[in-house]
Structure 1
Amino acid sequence: MKIAVIGCGYLGAVHSAAMSSVGHEVVGVDVDPRKLEMLSSGHAPFYEPGFDELLTEQVATGRLSFTDDFSKVADAEVIFIGVGTPQTEGSNAADLRYVNSAIESLKPYIGAHTLIAGKSTVPVGTAARLASEIESTGARMLWNPEFLREGFAVQDTLRPDRLVYGIGDGDTTSVAQLDEVYRSILDTGVDRIVTDFATAELVKVSANAFLATKISFINAMAEIAEQVGADVTELADAIGLDERIGRKFLNSGLGFGGGCLPKDIRAFQARAEEVGATESLQFLSEVDKVNLRRRDHVVDLAARELDALGSKRVAVLGLAFKPNSDDVRDSAALDVAARLTADGYEVRGYDPKAGETAGRVQPDLDIRSTLAEAVAEADVIVVGTEWAEFKEVDPATLESPAKVVIDGRNTLDRKRWHDAGFKVIALGRRTLEPKA
């Protein structure tokens, strides 16, 4: 089929290449010249495992192209909307300017042959509004939320755990059309849920709200554990054996960040207020507060240890919001590094992939190109992102004066670091004091 994808950021670029890989002819549309140039040459403007190879391969086939010309979508049978919905400045609400602009730009080129499939995360009610706006063109609207995990985006697109279609009343035509797009995926037996617009929109934001709640729950337990001398990791292991709870997303640490969970739970609360259901989501404000307190705590821990040593030198390992990504949007690790820098400490940051993006966001931060450089003169080490490199490094081989490590992600082998002579501070766990 002929497919168009509006918005070639993280979501749109991956979706474009993935749809090309299953045989469709795909054009990606964006307004950023640098992004388009990179994508057209087969190079991703962000780091995502496996994506560069997929992109290069698909551009070479001739099935995948990128442009800033909206007229190129005129003969597309299905047009996916994959633009961003950031948090509105000065408000918790989602900023829909890019979604609205995409629809306006498409209107001259769509007709009865066109299915517009929204993938962006939007407030409930958006799909119905947009469907009414394009009704006069004869085009149809369907909402098909994405469930990508950064670091697994290619896998999650081509081998999803479910496909959700939100449709207007009785719109079987759109269902059949999108089924053809996803035929090779559906043939694997993936679950497909066909529902109404509002439910499809809620599936995405409620999933993110649940995951955020689970993460903040275990971090709240970490706060208690630190006060009473308990071990939050052992606690998580124990309650995670209950199949009603499960162990996933019960890892205590610096908390969640990135371009989705923080802004999505805030936008969800804002929309609940608008529809008269404020009390239903008030708990999410506490989820948000717990999450942000973890950052405060790590900054305080680092400052306490540095001040006790009479030192200003600290290494922050990890700047991306999660491993296997160069995304630093609302990164807890980068926030910790920036705040310690602002407080007058000499911070050296390092991340295997996110050094360049972090440097653009925090130009005052001293970012080093290797782990060894970052820790070379540090008296305290803070682990802010759970990269495999940090888990696997032998602390006994580090040429660093540091004898304190703050494990902000509960990712290190505590015994190995302790045996190497470090004081090991892990969130929600008993501190291992250095050996005499």
Structure 2
Amino acid sequence: MSTDNPPAATRVSIIGTGYLGATHAVCMSELGFSVVGVDIDPGKVANLAAGRVPFFEPGLEELLRKNLDTGRLTFTTSFTDAAAADVHFLCVGTPQRPDSPAADLSHLVSAVDRLLAAGPKPGSLLVGKSTVPAGTAAALARRLATEAPLVGLAWNPEFLREGFAVEDTMRPDRLVLGLQADDGGRAEGMLRAIYASAIEAGTPLVLTDFATAELVKVAANAFLATKISFINAMAEICEATGGDVKTLAAALAHDARIGGRFLGAGVGFGGGCLPKDIRAFQARAAELGAGYAVGFLAEVDAINLRRRTRMAELTTELLGGSVAGRRVAVLGAAFKPNSDDIRDSPALDVANLLHRAGAVVTVTDPAAVPNARQRHPELSYADNAVQAATDADIVLHLTEWSDFREIDPVALASYVRTPTVIDGRNALDVARWRAAGWSYYALGRPRV
């Protein structure tokens, strides 16, 4: 799968300019390529063309403006403008279908329809980066063989972490290339040219087939989700026995076979990837007659969702059995820190559970309040933790922003009605908060 003289790809198109696509477009331009980002949403295109990133991602907007100024980076709604590119990166979303756990591939199919209608340059390469069910690339290859036989195909899954997307694109921890065995090494050569700087820096390169490349991303997310849900299951056992999940996790972390990353018990995972990917993985496995192999993921999902309910139950318990009319401050709206992404946010789920039970809930977040307010106008919002906590009967720490970890609990205590905090991320300094007069509680931790 190699070639002695890999062709240099100089012009790149990015199809879909959401979180993945916008980041990839900016970073490809930063690497020196001429890049055009194409999207059917004129508002999104206008924002990016004006140097505005329509989501929160540290460092991305500065790089966007820098590369717009060089002239290497442009954005358009015209697939015709993108058709002349040497390499087309397919970066459209594959959300969960509204009627089933399976992935919705309609945006991907539509994007390919538009590109083929625009007439991609013979000898160009279509590269899938979207997370898709196994078998999607093979089906697309069959379509290209009929409708655009001179256009190659490769699958190159993304592994971006929100909040670290620029770093993960410029300096990835691995590159996975799903390739066709019969293309003479052309796709591999083009992608080696695209990723030359990362490969020269020693980034591990995995060359494989389409199906394995598709599975790598969903398998990685399934493993990560399983690890998070495992420690949250242990938190449930600790609550039943009086054990301390924080100490348990620290002891497990000393085992080199397990490691300590993602062993933080709390309200669980959310976002636009892990939840929908493990559900789509189960759905595709069932279609293939292998659903039994990943049946455990249903319990992984259930454990994750139970933690949200448990947080609401603990809040209710600490408020005397009813939250009706009680004031609850929620620190966090994004599903994780350094992001404004509220998709499947545990923090907002807990806030809504308490709101529906009659609580007066006020939410604050350093970046995600505008998105949360648009999605959940029934909740109240504040600009900062002090405003959210003023006259609160209880404070819930649900997104692990450094802003919240660094709060002075002595100062905050002067604003609340009752100094009671539930640390839904097991991230606050327990001794410091208790010394400041707070009643501190956390999932999976002994009560004092």
TM-score, normalised by the number of residues in structure 1: 0.98
Indicate conservation of the 8 Å contact 1:92/1:263, yes or no: yes
Within the alignment, does 1:26 sit opposite 2:35 as a pair?
yes
Output aligned runs, 1:29-428, within 5 Å. Answer: 29-108=38-117, 109-136=119-146, 137=148, 138-171=150-183, 172-307=185-320, 312-398=326-412, 399-428=415-444
Indicate conservation of the 8 Å contact 1:306/1:313, yes or no: no
Once the 2 structures are TM-superposed, how far is the Cα of residue 112 of structure 1 from its aligned partner?
2.7
How far apart, CA to CA, are the structure 1 residues paired with 2:90 and 2:154? 10
Indicate conservation of the 8 Å contact 2:86/2:121, yes or no: no
How far apart, CA to CA, are the structure 1 residues paired with 2:315 and 2:242? 20
Q: Residues 93 and 309 of structure 1: is their aligned pair in 2 closer, same or farther, counting only changes over 3 Å?
A: closer
Secondary structure of the 2:319 match is helix
Deviations 1:8-52 (A, max 9, x none): 000000000000001000000111121111100111000001111
TM-score, normalised by the number of residues in structure 2: 0.95
Secondary structure of the 1:264 match is helix
Question: Which residue does the alignment assign to 1:431?
Answer: 447
Indicate conservation of the 8 Å contact 1:423/1:431, yes or no: no
How far apart, CA to CA, are the structure 1 residues paired with 2:396 and 2:300? 24
* Bigger shift: residues 335-344 or 320-329: 335-344
How far apart, CA to CA, are the structure 2 residues paired with 1:29 and 1:309? 51
* Bigger shift: residues 407-416 or 181-190: 181-190
How far apart, CA to CA, are the structure 2 residues paired with 1:415 and 1:359? 34
How far apart, CA to CA, are the structure 1 residues paired with 2:384 and 2:252? 38
Identity %: 52
Indicate conservation of the 8 Å contact 1:295/1:332, yes or no: yes
How far apart, CA to CA, are the structure 1 residues paired with 2:99 and 2:316? 30
How far apart, CA to CA, are the structure 2 residues paired with 1:186 and 1:62? 26
Indicate conservation of the 8 Å contact 1:5/1:26, yes or no: yes
Secondary structure of the 1:116 match is strand
* Bigger shift: residues 180-189 or 8-17: 180-189
How far apart, CA to CA, are the structure 2 residues paired with 1:169 and 1:34? 40
How far apart, CA to CA, are the structure 2 residues paired with 1:394 and 1:309? 29
Residue type of the alignment partner of 1:129: A
Residue type of the alignment partner of 2:374: R
Instruction: Return structure 1 stretches of 4+ with deviation > 6 angstroms.
Output: none
Once the 2 structures are TM-superposed, how far is the Cα of residue 309 of structure 1 from its aligned partner?
8.6
Indicate conservation of the 8 Å contact 2:361/2:379, yes or no: yes
How far apart, CA to CA, are the structure 2 residues paired with 1:105 and 1:32? 14
Across the two proteins, how many residue pairs are aligned to each other? 432
Residue type of the alignment partner of 1:117: V
How far apart, CA to CA, are the structure 1 residues paired with 2:391 and 2:64? 40
Deviations 1:101-159 (A, max 9, x none): 11111113214321000000000000010111111312011000000000000000000
Residue type of the alignment partner of 2:248: L
Residue type of the alignment partner of 2:232: N
How far apart, CA to CA, are the structure 2 residues paired with 1:59 and 1:304? 54
How far apart, CA to CA, are the structure 2 residues paired with 1:106 and 1:309? 56
- Segments of 5+ residues of structure 2 without an aligned counterpart are 1-9
Indicate conservation of the 8 Å contact 1:124/1:198, yes or no: yes
Secondary structure of the 2:446 match is coil
Deviations 1:193-247 (A, max 9, x none): 1100000000000000000000000000000001111111111111111111010
Secondary structure of the 2:320 match is helix
Indicate conservation of the 8 Å contact 2:84/2:121, yes or no: no
How far apart, CA to CA, are the structure 1 residues paired with 2:435 and 2:129? 49
Secondary structure of the 1:156 match is helix
Deviations 1:160-216 (A, max 9, x none): 000000011233110000111111121111111110000000000000000000000
Residue type of the alignment partner of 2:278: I
Secondary structure of the 1:302 match is helix
Secondary structure of the 1:43 match is coil
How far apart, CA to CA, are the structure 1 residues paired with 2:121 and 2:138? 18
Once the 2 structures are TM-superposed, how far is the Cα of residue 343 of structure 1 from its aligned partner?
1.3
Secondary structure of the 1:307 match is coil
Residue type of the alignment partner of 2:346: A
Residue type of the alignment partner of 1:112: P
How far apart, CA to CA, are the structure 2 residues paired with 1:156 and 1:402? 42
How far apart, CA to CA, are the structure 2 residues paired with 1:309 and 1:327? 30
Once the 2 structures are TM-superposed, how far is the Cα of residue 423 of structure 1 from its aligned partner?
1.1
Indicate conservation of the 8 Å contact 1:375/1:402, yes or no: no
Residue type of the alignment partner of 1:146: E
Residue type of the alignment partner of 2:229: S
Once the 2 structures are TM-superposed, how far is the Cα of residue 293 of structure 1 from its aligned partner?
0.3
